[in-house]
Structure 1
């Protein structure tokens, strides 16, 4: 959001606003690409939204908590609300970068969960900007009905960023590494063999360590998280059940429906119907 106190010098930028309705917890604002421009400079004196950016080419400078750092291709940064945002191109090798801006408690909770509570940056690592590019592509393709896809993609980006920023790939427990690996793959099929291979352990050993830390097996955690997302989408959106199944990467609708019923004791359509009745009851009360 631009205010009279913000100073922008932007002449070469692709700007794609989100045009749909926000949810109470998540407000996507816009995404885009900043192209090579030696005069690019943004100063935002009291930022009211989160800024997620990834440098595709070239170089630039970002003020992070009072210190100016140079960022190059492969680097990424996050700027938080209620902080001073100041970033600009290196005029000799101006950057090209992809970005996403958003607001809401969902982002705040994710940032807190993954220990990213301040303005921060990473150099290289596994955060290759693919999720920010996918966010941009999603808004371009369907700017109105994409809020759930945007929330999932942003979650993946924050997890990927956090793994590098917090050094989790080197220092975290095997259980946490498996948990983060699972969280990044909730929209597709995942086997226990793949989970165990990620931490170079046998299936039995990986299962034991994960259960010891989280009191549940890795695969059961994976299924529970996918079905938790499905329940949230059924409860809070009008997305067709077949689309929810497809979004979460289930091989077909029947497989999704059978698994959902085994897990919850109720079919997806009945779950949505019951949730709607409860909501109407609360409103009428």
Structure 2
């Protein structure tokens, strides 16, 4: 993949909720599809290989791959997904989403199948994977879907940026997974990150993490930053701010209540931290 040439075209982005009997028979798509399994279970066959997905898993379908999808487990399936071309082509707007097997396509339709540029390292994305940071992936995907559905002015430009953010997150997540696995610290770092996420409602000190996980502060910072490009405390602050933004945007809570729920000493400390992270005050963020 030549990063300088990437200018994605988002064909479809939708939040799909289907019943327990839903299925898609074997087909070949012309573009890429990223599917996030938020709820339920799926049996997916890709090029004669079977995969079984549960909530929190992702499936990635590449152009030209034969695949079939079926809900299993007797429950509904919540599967937000996005179809996209890696770069906008002259015929991108002409092409829809394929539900045909290769043998039923016309010569023109076969010519629509894009080259798969996301199948070699360092930008290879596997057909089935479980992200190590599903919350961020889910947030990015749903923001993209809302933008696609609302179609405000200049939405096409913003969609490109949002898809690039989502794609870079997936690639970075895969890179980190490989790095952590190679260094043998995957389980420990996952445990540290989970602990940080579960304590986003209060202040957290490096001394506490160092003592709990029996690591020196220097080594803890080195290990965490090497893998995630953030220190543990920076990651904790990022999680708190994401929670703050969500509360401000989607609830009617007073700022004082949000500050208390996130463990800030007072509204002034919360406002300073929020402005340092986002560039605007909490009240301005709510108005925007």
**More RCO (CA 8 Å, sep 6+):** 2
Q: TM-score range by the shorter chain?
A: 0.3 to 0.5
TM-score normalised to the size of structure 1?
A: 0.47
TM-score normalised to the size of structure 2?
A: 0.47
